[in-house]
Amino acid sequence: MGIDEVITAATSAIREAQIDNLNLEIWAAQQNSGVLAAALKRNIKVQHLKSAASI
């Protein structure tokens, strides 16, 4: 995999993480559960970082 593919894949993973985080923040606001949202948000970030690192 060349550098362009790595950059494209990383950019895509970042966009997906941002969308997931936004959706989670909306859901958390609807649930009025800040502590749960923070835990889930951190978990999603960790999963995306692991995915990006494995490329």
pLDDT greater than 70 at residue 10: yes
pTM: 0.45
Contact 13, 51 (CB under 8 A): yes
Mean pLDDT across 23-42: 74
Question: How confident is the model over 13-30, as pLDDT tens digits?
Answer: 888 888 888 888 887 777
